[in-house]
Structures are given as C-alpha cells and as structure tokens.
Homo-oligomer: A and B are copies of this chain.
C-alpha cells in the first residue's frame, strides 16, 4: 500500500496518446506515473527519454511486467482496441484498476468480460473519454437539469460531430483504421464521443432505436471512415440525436443541444480550443422581435476556466476512486462502467444498423 493517497499508474504501450496521458498523470495532484512498457524495451526507453519521464519510472519491455509490478495501482491501456479485453482482464485479475482508451472494446460482449473482471476483482474501471471531466461539462449539465431556473427544458434535439482530416499515411497505417486491430474505425474512435455526448444530454437514458444513414464510407479493409447516424428516444418525450463522424472531413467537434426553452452550442466539445478555459454558447427564451426582423436575445458566451487539463481531471477522478477503494475499503463506483457500457451498446447498434443496410435497430 502507498504511504499517501497518491495512486501509482503504469502505462501499457507507447502509443501517441500515451504521451498525453503520461503528462496528465504527472499533472494530477493525486497520481504518479511509476511504470511504462512497450513490446520492446528500446521503444519504451525512447518514449521515456522523449517525454522526459523521471528516473523513478520503471521501464519495461513487456506489458506483463507492468501488470505484475506490485508498485502499480492502476494501468492505462492505450493499446489497439482488439487488445483491450486481453490486457484489461489480465490487469484486473492482478488487482490493478483499469483506465481503457476508447473505444473500450470491439463489442459489448468483450466489454462485459472486462467489466466482470473488474467487478469480481473489486477494481475501478473507467474509459478514456476525457471531455466528461472538464468543468464545462458539469456546467452545462446544470443547465440541462430541469430544476435549474434557466433550464433548457426537456431535450428535443442533439447534434454532434467528430471529424478530422486524416493524412493518407494515417488512412494507410494508423491502428485506428486497421481491420485486424480496430475493426470499428471512425465508429469506435470518433463516434464514441458523439454517442457519449448524446447519452449524457439525455441523462444517460438509452435510445429506443438507432439508425445509420446511408452515407457510410469504408476503406478497402472494411473499416468505417465516415458514419452518420441518428438515435431516437420515445420517452419521456420524443428526442432525436444526429451524429456525424469522419476521418475524411475538416476538423470539427460540434455539439448542439436544443430543448423546449433553450439551447447550448459548443464547437470544441471533445478537445477545447485551449487548455486553460473552455466556453459554450447558451441561448434561453429566444423569440423573434415584432415583424420577425431580429431576435430578443443573442447567445451568451459562457467561459469555464479549469486549473487542470481535462485529461488530468480524468486521472484525478480515477485516482480519487482508486484511493478510496485501496485505502478505505470502498466499493468501485458503478457510474463510469455504466456510461461505458451504454456507449458501447449504442456503438454496437450503429454497427448492426450499418450491417442491416441502415435499418433501425431497437435497444
């Protein structure tokens, strides 16, 4: 057991995103990076040097050494999706808490193996969708709450995008578009955020049906490069969400939520324009002025500062839960695994709708 409340992280793999999370762990006040591994020790050493990791970080040439390291409380798994289940289950069985990069798994059956391993071993699970942890998210959540005096009211419509123009090199070689490594492509990598945001706006209620739209593009290996889909809820009121995800379009991360009384717009919901502050536009009680030649209000731009990057806030949240389990005997929180599982269920439904030629899929 650690001497203080600091949670000790190990990282399995030296993917590019591991650089960001290594930095996030270093910045989180209750976490420390203590081990990294790659499949070759040389690669791990290069990663440690290039990222100026302190000498105290143990550098391993195999993932097993991290999960076997008794000085590691939690592992971060940025491996290709097809390897998530194997290594997350292995880590959980060694009583390591698990932070898995999104998409959490290739499908919900595989995710359930991870979640069952975490549950039976009493370890915390969380996926790597970092925007949940930005204070902007909580701020907007407040405006979505019907008890707020300026609540935007029951949600009627949600629209989100996650697009980035991949380079030819990426489309050829990146793990996210390799059928044998990550068969979900844009659906796992980009839509994970849009689906999560849609669920979040609806209070984590699963949609009634999910329908892919007939414009999906795939690469030669059959991996999704572009997807448009709609999610529909029938209760407590009709709501529709549209999502657009693509590796082939200009960078966009739009999120619009429209209710009966107001709306919220973000253009950078996944990665804020800058790290220290994020903003959103909020419109409440908009009406047209007489003759319909203008509006009575304009959107308010609400700025939400943060003293830590959202990835560090994610690590801090996980470390807080881990410390509570490790030091106080608490049970793991079910909040994060449940959000992950609902997101994965919708990912699976979009995939099924695509397979069925864009037929609606009930959940």
CB of A23 closer than 8 Å to a CB of B: yes
A214 to B213, CA, bound (A): 12
Chain B residues, Cβ within 8 Å of A263: 250, 252
| Interface-side segment among A83-91, A135-143, A187-195, A238-246 | A238-246
**Besides A159-B159, A211-B213, A271-B295, 14 new A-B residue pairs in contact (Cβ under 8 A), listed by A number:** A20-B292, A20-B293, A156-B226, A156-B248, A161-B256, A213-B232, A228-B240, A230-B242, A244-B258, A249-B259, A250-B260, A251-B286, A267-B299, A272-B294
Chain B residues, Cβ within 8 Å of A230: 213, 215, 228, 230, 242
Tell whether, in the assembled complex, residue B244 and residue A249 are in contact, meaning their CB atoms are under 8 Å apart: no
Q: Which of A299-326 contact B (CB under 8 A)?
A: 299, 309, 311
| In the complex, residue of chain B having the shortest beta-carbon distance to the beta carbon of A160 | B159
Partner of A250, one of B153, B251, B298: B153
CB of A273 closer than 8 Å to a CB of B: yes
CB of A13 closer than 8 Å to a CB of B: no
Chain B residues, Cβ within 8 Å of A360: 214
Judged by DSSP, the binding face of A is mixed
CB of A175 closer than 8 Å to a CB of B: no
Q: Which of A260-286 contact B (CB under 8 A)?
A: 260-263, 265, 267-268, 271-275, 281, 283, 286
Oligomeric state, in number of copies?
A: 2
Least Cβ distance of A351 to chain B in Å? 18
CB of A81 closer than 8 Å to a CB of B: no
Q: Which of A14-29 contact B (CB under 8 A)?
A: 17, 19-20, 23
Q: Which 9 A-B pairs have the closest CB atoms?
A: A251-B286, A215-B240, A156-B249, A242-B242, A20-B291, A274-B294, A273-B295, A228-B240, A273-B298
A211 to B292, CA, bound (A): 31
Least Cβ distance of A210 to chain B in Å? 11
Tell whether, in the assembled complex, residue B209 and residue A211 are in contact, meaning their CB atoms are under 8 Å apart: no
A238 to B218, CA, bound (A): 12
Least Cβ distance of A262 to chain B in Å? 5
CB of A287 closer than 8 Å to a CB of B: yes
Tell whether, in the assembled complex, residue A250 and residue B258 are in contact, meaning their CB atoms are under 8 Å apart: yes
Tell whether, in the assembled complex, residue A292 and residue B271 are in contact, meaning their CB atoms are under 8 Å apart: yes
CB of A52 closer than 8 Å to a CB of B: no
7 contacts between A and B (CB under 8 A): A159-B242, A230-B242, A250-B261, A251-B287, A252-B286, A267-B281, A273-B298
